[in-house]
Amino acid sequence: MNEFEIIERYLTLDSRKRKDVIKGVGDDCALLKVPRGQRLAVSMDTLIGDVHFMSDANATDIAHKAVAVNLSDLAAAGAEPAWITLALSLPEFNQQWLEDFSRGLKRITEYFGVQIVGGDTTRGPLSITIQAHGFVPENVFHKRSTANPGDLICVTGELGDAALGLLVAKNELQVTPSTASELLKKYQTPYPRIAAGIALRGRATAVIDISDGLLADVNHISQQSEVGALLRYERIPFSKAALEVKDDELRRRAALTGGDDYELVFTVNEDELDAAQNALETVGTQCIPIGRLTGKPGVRMLHHKQEIELEQLGYTHF
């Protein structure tokens, strides 16, 4: 089976035909139509086997996650997803693996209404590079650099599950089967907060998706907006599954520096909090204040008024 046949059979996914795709997979270029009055938002991420995911993981989950992490960047930009391009490098042709991968692609692209419009398939070390393309109306782009001291810092959901799920996957954390299953699901098949990102258009002063870990991602906002951040540990939301992990220190580390949660962390002027909460409620998402921006540079965290030494969590200010 050559490159063209692999693309045709496993990556073209005929099911989805968007009207804004004039020419999709199969020619030198895809030809696409961006709606009038909309800007194009694009994000590109590479996932490498045994660096970003375990090469022997289920290929359906690998496909899901590769698309999800890119859509999550669109969520942070408040963009409505439209198209995906996919460069797949494979060490060998493996029909079962490609079928599983194709199933994962189909599921998540249909869920979010996006179409695969192009890409490349090559023989080489296992690696997936995806570019996601979405639309944002003129003048409502979320940036990381427009937050102000005094703004509240909020998250859209529970933190730490993905990092704990990774430990379960690596057999480094013992929990009950149902807890294991919950945590694994969050790690393997995250659903990015697309609807929440759109709901926050014009309301949030900065938005970022939690990929590197809460502290690192809040630090991105803090650096780019030239503000500081004071977080309150007791307000960090945990899932029931995470609370069943007995090691408090491990759970804390997972939530603060673990990453891979793909919730949004955003800042909002205190006067806008109710509006943001209402907007998020209409899309079934929580809005949980966990701290406040300050004028003093850097990220700090209190736990019942006691400062937590963040370096002990493996967090380095960079």
Q: Which residues bind a second copy (CB under 8 A)?
A: 2, 4, 22-23, 26-34, 36, 39-46, 48, 51-52, 73-74, 76-77, 79, 85-87, 89, 117-120, 122-125, 127, 129, 131, 133-134, 136, 141, 143-144, 208-209, 224, 318
- 130 or 184: CB nearest a second copy: 130
Least spacing, CB of residue 125 vs a second copy, in Å: 4
Q: Which residues pair with 118 in a beta bridge?
A: 85
- 12 or 179: CB nearest a second copy: 12
Max distance between CA atoms of the chain, in angstroms, equals 63
Least spacing, CB of residue 303 vs a second copy, in Å: 28
Least spacing, CB of residue 314 vs a second copy, in Å: 15
Least spacing, CB of residue 202 vs a second copy, in Å: 15
- 140 or 302: CB nearest a second copy: 140
Q: For residues 117 and 114, what is the distance between their CA atoms, to the nearest angstrom? A: 9
- 35 or 243: CB nearest a second copy: 35
Least spacing, CB of residue 297 vs a second copy, in Å: 17
By the 8 A CB rule, do 78 and 164 touch?
Answer: no
- 86 or 242: CB nearest a second copy: 86
Q: Which residues pair with 49 in a beta bridge?
A: 53
Least spacing, CB of residue 37 vs a second copy, in Å: 10
Q: For residues 10 and 28, what is the distance between their CA atoms, to the nearest angstrom? A: 18
By the 8 A CB rule, do 268 and 149 touch?
Answer: no
- Nearest Cα neighbor of 162 from 80, 48, 35, 65 is 65
- 153 or 173: CB nearest a second copy: 153
Q: 249 CB contacts (<8 Å, ≥6 apart)?
A: none
Q: For residues 170 and 168, what is the distance between their CA atoms, to the nearest angstrom? A: 5
Residue type, 247: D
The DSSP H or E segment spanning 61 is helix 59-76
